[in-house]
């Protein structure tokens, strides 16, 4: 709680220092959503790169290893080229005289500088600084060793702030146009759940006897499979059961896709309001010689007394797949259960 109050003070202070121009007069930020440009002096980056990449460059198996966010270091003499991109991190020190540090210090009022010196302040998130829909994150410390230590100690908090904004912006972009209201109404009138559906998705298969619906978009191939069944106390809900049930459905529905168990991990987590088991890993189809990453949330809904499985996957040969997975994550987090399809029995 203390850290959040510190950030609030910093944000209020910075709001007086940054440009006061109307956001509508700024250009829209450019670049991919998961591309981050990092500005700091080259000697400092040689110390910061490893701890930064451990936090912001975590790898996702797709099945090749892809970094969650694409971190690109740039020197400050390239600033004008990149200042309007979506994600910018600036790293500066009070004891340094490089261009990035000097520019950051010029933005700080004496109170904030004292806070950095005392260790109260470290990372400062700002939105729409040089462009609309832009996220800028300042990291400020007193020395190289202090910067490295604070990245290790507080980097997860900065990561969470960035990640929350990243998904919020992604959701807004995805639903800003051509949301399929008619397909959403079809889903909630035929199946026991609701979910917002972006443009170009369609129902690839549905089976009320097997209790599933497959929602898909191609070029590249992105799919969501929702499966539900009555809760039975004899079912031991664990990763083994989830993998077997997914493989069983996929045998006919997804042309025989199977989970690659040695590349798949299970976690206890929260999916919205439910305690859930999350699977994260890869699938493959030997007959079609294809594969890719998938995620799966499975949980028991006590109000409807059902087990729900929400599974989503990507197949995008030759392309980075993490962003497509993130888009699917946005969609499935609009999911909610229904006691029965709307209109049934009303």
Local structure of 197: helix, strand or coil: coil
Position 255 scores a pLDDT of: 84
Average pLDDT for the chain:
91
Q: What's the CA dihedral at 63, 311, 169, 291 to 10 degrees?
A: 20
The CB density around residue 17, as the number of other CB atoms within 10 Å, is 13
Residue 203's nearest CA partner among 178, 177, 185, 228 is 185
In total, how many domains does the chain have?
2
How far is it, in rounded angstroms, from Cα 241 to Cα 237?
6
Whether residue 23 sits in one domain with residue 164? yes
Please give the DSSP secondary-structure letter assigned to residue 27.
P
For residue 57 the two structure tokens come to 């460059």
Q: Which of 174, 195, 211 is the endpoint of a domain?
A: 174
Q: Which of 125, 141, 174 is the endpoint of a domain?
A: 174
Residue 285's nearest CA partner among 333, 323, 247, 311 is 247
Query: What range does the domain containing 214 cover?
Result: 181-337
CATH number at residue 240: 3.40.1000.10
How far is it, in rounded angstroms, from Cα 305 to Cα 310?
16
Question: Is 255 exposed, middle or buried (CB count within 10 Å of its CB: 0-12, 13-18, 19+)?
Answer: exposed
Residue 249 inside a domain? The answer is: yes
For residue 156 the two structure tokens come to 């997860």
How far is it, in rounded angstroms, from Cα 211 to Cα 260?
24
In this structure, of 69-83, 193-207, 244-258, 261-275, the range with the lowest mean pLDDT score is 244-258
Residue 67 inside a domain? The answer is: yes
In the structure, what pLDDT confidence band is assigned to residue 256 with cuts at 50, 70 and 90?
confident
Average pLDDT score over residue span 104-132 = 89
Whether residue 132 sits in one domain with residue 227? no
Predicted TM-score (pTM) of the model is 0.89
Helix (H) or strand (E) holding 265: strand 258-271
């Amino acid at each position: 709680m203390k850290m959040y109050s510190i950030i609030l003070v910093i944000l209020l202070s910075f709001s007086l220092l940054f440009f006061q121009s109307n956001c509508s007069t700024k250009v829209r930020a450019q670049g991919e959503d998961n591309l981050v440009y990092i500005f700091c002096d080259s000697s400092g980056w040689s110390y910061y790169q490893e701890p930064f990449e451990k936090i912001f460059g975590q790898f996702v198996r797709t099945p090749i290893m892809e970094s969650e966010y694409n971190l690109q270091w740039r020197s400050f003499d390239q600033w004008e080229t990149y200042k309007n991109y979506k994600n910018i991190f600036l790293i500066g020190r009070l004891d340094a005289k490089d261009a990035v540090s000097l520019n950051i210090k010029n933005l700080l009022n004496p109170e904030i500088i004292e806070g950095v010196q005392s260790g109260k302040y470290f990372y400062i998130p700002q939105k729409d600084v040089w462009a609309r829909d832009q996220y800028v994150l300042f990291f400020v410390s007193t020395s190289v060793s202090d910067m490295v230590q604070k990245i290790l100690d507080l980097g997860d908090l900065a990561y969470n702030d960035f990640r929350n904004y990243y998904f919020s912006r992604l959701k807004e972009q995805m639903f800003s146009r051509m949301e399929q209201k008619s397909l959403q109404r079809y889903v909630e009138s035929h199946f026991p759940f609701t979910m917002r559906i972006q443009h170009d998705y369609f129902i690839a298969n549905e089976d009320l006897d097997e209790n599933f619906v497959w929602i898909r978009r191609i070029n590249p191939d992105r799919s969501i499979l929702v499966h539900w069944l009555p809760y039975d106390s004899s079912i031991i809900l664990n990763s083994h059961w989830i993998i077997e049930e997914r493989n069983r459905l996929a045998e006919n529905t997804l042309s025989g896709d199977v989970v690659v168990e040695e590349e798949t991990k299970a976690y206890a987590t929260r999916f919205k309001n439910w305690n859930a088991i999350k699977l994260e890993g890869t699938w493959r189809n030997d007959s079609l010689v294809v594969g890719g990453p998938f995620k799966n949330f499975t949980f028991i809904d006590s109000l409807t007394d059902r087990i729900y499985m929400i599974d989503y996957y990507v197949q995008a040969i030759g392309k980075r797949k993490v962003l497509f997975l993130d888009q699917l994550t946005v969609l499935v987090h609009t999911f909610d259960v229904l006691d029965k399809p709307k209109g049934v029995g009303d």
